[in-house]
């Protein structure tokens, strides 16, 4: 980064900011001196985050066009934007492909793909202004290893995250020649306060079984570290796709449920 006497005020938007990875990213960016606009649907969660961190907030459902337009106007009024962290997303259920409903598939696509697309399309003009000012700009999307490797019971989530990965790959090609980086952060097993409990319909026993015996699943803060690192790298360095797993998860299908030890 350039000398603080000449550097622009760095501004970021983080979607899905009311909990988990999004909230952790807001906290870390604020600790690094960024001005941050936190975006989510839950006003009470955003208000608490603003009280804690000093971030600005926008209550929005990015599957609603008017909400995306309002976000774009709010960001435009604040000045150039230097980074977008498109984090909004999540998994719905764990039904096999044979029985997963069309509604769950549609909702999964809306939650993971449409929200990212809406944020990117709405904020690209402001990101271009920020890139002109700073010399580079960033679009960081939180994807998933579920967008790299399919697994049983993951059909709806796999389909959505594979689609998001493809969307971002196309975007990177379309922005070639502009000083805008497109970064995909693809976490494996992350234990956050809401992801698994929402996916498993509030069944705490199933959540505990999911993580049982796994030494140090990733935390939201671990993913936030990777996100902030990516956007604070020198402007000519692009982390196209970063896969992050806990050491106990050697691959999507290989999870060690016992203490790690040297053999």
- In Å, how far are 102, 105, 112, 149, 227 from 99, measured between CA atoms? 9, 11, 21, 20, 36
Answer yes or no: 151 catalytic. no
CA dist., res. 263 & res. 260, Å (int) = 9
* Contact predicate 226/28, CB 8 Å: no
Measured distance between the N- and C-terminal CA atoms of the chain, rounded to whole angstroms: 43
HSE-up of residue 221 (Cα within 13 Å, Cβ side): 4
How do beta strands 35-40 and 11-15 pair? parallel
* 157, 171, 227, 230: the active-site residue: 157
Burial of 32 (0-12, 13-18, 19+ CB in 10 A): middle
CA dist., res. 12 & res. 119, Å (int) = 12
Catalytic residues: 157
């Amino acid at each position: 980064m350039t000398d603080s006497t000449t550097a622009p005020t760095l501004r970021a938007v983080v979607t899905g900011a009311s909990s988990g990875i999004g909230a952790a990213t807001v906290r870390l960016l604020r600790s690094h001196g960024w001005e941050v606009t936190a975006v989510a649907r839950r006003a009470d969660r955003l208000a608490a985050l603003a009280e804690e961190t000093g971030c600005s907030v926008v209550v929005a459902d990015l599957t609603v066009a008017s909400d995306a337009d309002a976000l774009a106007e709010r960001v435009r009024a604040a000045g150039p934007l230097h980074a977008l962290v498109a984090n909004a997303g999540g998994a719905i259920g764990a039904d096999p492909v044979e029985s997963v409903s069309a509604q769950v598939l549609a909702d999964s696509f809306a939650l993971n793909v449409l929200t990212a697309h809406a944020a990117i399309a709405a904020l690209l003009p402001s990101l271009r202004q920020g890139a002109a000012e700073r010399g580079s700009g960033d679009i960081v999307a939180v994807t998933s290893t579920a967008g790299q490797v399919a697994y049983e019971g993951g059909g709806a989530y796999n389909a959505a995250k594979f689609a998001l990965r493809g969307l971002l790959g196309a975007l990177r090609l379309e922005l070639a020649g502009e000083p805008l980086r497109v970064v995909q952060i693809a976490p494996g097993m992350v234990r956050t306060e809401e992801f698994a409990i929402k996916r498993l319909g509030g069944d705490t026993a199933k959540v505990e079984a999911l993580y049982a015996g796994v030494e140090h699943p990733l935390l939201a803060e671990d993913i936030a570290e990777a996100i902030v690192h990516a956007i604070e790298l020198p402007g000519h360095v692009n982390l196209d796709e970063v896969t992050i797993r806990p050491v106990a998860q050697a691959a999507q299908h290989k999870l060690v449920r016992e203490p790690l030890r040297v053999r």
